[in-house]
Amino acid sequence: MILNYKFENFMSFRENVEFSMLAPKSKVKNRFPNNYVTSKTGVDLLKTAVIVGENAGGKSNFVRSLSYLQSFFAGTESPQSYRNAINTNKLQDFCPKKHDSLQSFNIEICINQNTLYLYHLVVDYVGIVKETFHFKNHVKNKYKKIFSMERSKYEVECIEENDCTNSRRCQTRSKVDYLLDIQECESEIKKFLEKAANRETTIGLMITKLAMLGNEHALAFTNWLKNDLCPETNMINYDLYKSMKNEEDDLRILHDARYLDIFQMIDSSIIAVQIDEEKPFSKTTVVRKKKNGGTFTRELAQDSSGVREFFAWAVQIFRVVYENKTVFADEMDRVLNPVLSDRVISFICGKKHYGQFIFTTHNVLHLDLKNYMKEQIYFITKNTETLDSELYSLADFPEIRYETTKIYEFYMKGILGGTAIE
């Protein structure tokens, strides 16, 4: 589960972005006992959060930042900043040496209810600038360092003999040195890692090297980030996206009886699904029961867009509730009515689990302090002059009280930001 997530200089976000899933320390959380869970580490974590904002405000970019961080863990090559992922206001020139490519990511998580991890990564166009990893077993304890690695010096040589005139011709060769401080590590392994960090070239993540060498903390963290963090951006219809990926693990969930309980939330007349093994997100048959007792079937591809998309999103809801995944869903309720959206959130909060569901939306009816704590509601707005995005919480508005009704009216009037009319 995520406690805190921070990043800087990613796409439309220029300044530091802070997102938290910590439940408030005040007594107000007692009004919402199902909205959070207490881990063995003594920390109270929110199960759900909603992010509201205008079109092209940056909601999808926020979710993509997690996919971007996750991509660094996919291979062994050195992570680095890419031009199309840097805030446009920091791109002074096509030459990477002449623009600000420094990007930072900071994520704090709880794994298996009993260990807290804090991971910090800074990269630029050369590669890793800084990487640190800490852990502790209780929220009241101080974090213990597992390792820190920081670039001490580097040299960049342009391969082009003459000044290149466009980014496609820009090629560089780097020589890099790092200072590595690793705790509680066998001497032979430590020598190997120090040698890897000082071979005068860019290197991959140190945490993935530790994981490959069997470090239990590095293994736990990398496994969580690669497998339990699920940032889902809705670039196309989500059912089409899932159909193209055609993951074997989705089939396992679709065949689970508990999945049907989730899918039935969209239509109570649905009594069964006949899963197509080859094309489950298009050729599966949905079975409905009429009031007179008769049944009729329809292929999923011929059903409504809402049914098709919820059939796909229900897989992720299953993962949250029954597999303790942390899912970031971009516009999950794009084609769902507000009643179903509320039903989904109530279902997630009503079950005991250690998963999290964070979703972006245009639906202002989620701005409701009867179902959410202020800490569960976030806004994203875009500066009309600089086109920079900003993320902030409803908790940042102390004048908004729980007795206040119709929060969405404040939002629509531009009082809370996050609208195109501000």
10-residue block means of pLDDT along the chain (422 residues)?
A: 97 95 92 95 96 89 96 85 89 76 96 95 93 96 95 77 61 77 72 63 81 92 96 73 75 96 95 94 94 92 91 95 96 81 93 96 85 94 91 91 77 70 44
Residue 147: beta bridge partners?
133, 182
What's the token pair of residue 338?
Answer: 């507000």
| pLDDT number for residue 176 | 81
Angle at 319 between CA 339 and CA 38, to 5 degrees: 85
The answer to whether 11 and 87 have CB atoms below 8 angstroms apart is yes
What's the token pair of residue 381?
Answer: 């707005």
Closest CA to 213 of 193, 183, 198, 227: 193
| pLDDT number for residue 300 | 94
Rounded Cα distance between 99 and 326, Å, is: 34
The pLDDT tens digits of the residues spanning 345-395 come to: 999 999 999 999 999 988 888 888 888 999 999 999 998 889 999 999 999
The pLDDT tens digits of the residues spanning 3-18 come to: 999 999 999 999 999 9
Angle at 326 between CA 230 and CA 378, to 5 degrees: 100
| Sheet strand arrangement including 270-274 | 270-274, 285-289, 295-299
pTM above the 0.85 mark? yes
Give the torsion through C-alpha atoms of 201, 204, 205, 210, to 10 deg: -100
Closest CA to 174 of 205, 203, 198, 202: 202
Q: Which helix (H) or strand (E) holds 2?
A: strand 2-8
With 0-12 / 13-18 / 19 or more C-beta atoms within 10 angstroms meaning exposed / middle / buried, residue 230 is buried
Rounded Cα distance between 29 and 83, Å, is: 42
E-strand stretches of 199-355: 229-232, 270-274, 285-289, 295-299, 326-329
Residues in the chain: 422
Q: CB under 8 Å, gap of 24 or more: what pairs does 105-108 form?
A: 105/6, 105/7, 105/65, 105/69, 106/4, 106/5, 106/6, 106/7, 107/2, 107/4, 107/5, 107/6, 107/69, 107/225, 108/2, 108/3, 108/4, 108/5
Query: Residue holding tokens 């899912």?
Result: 327
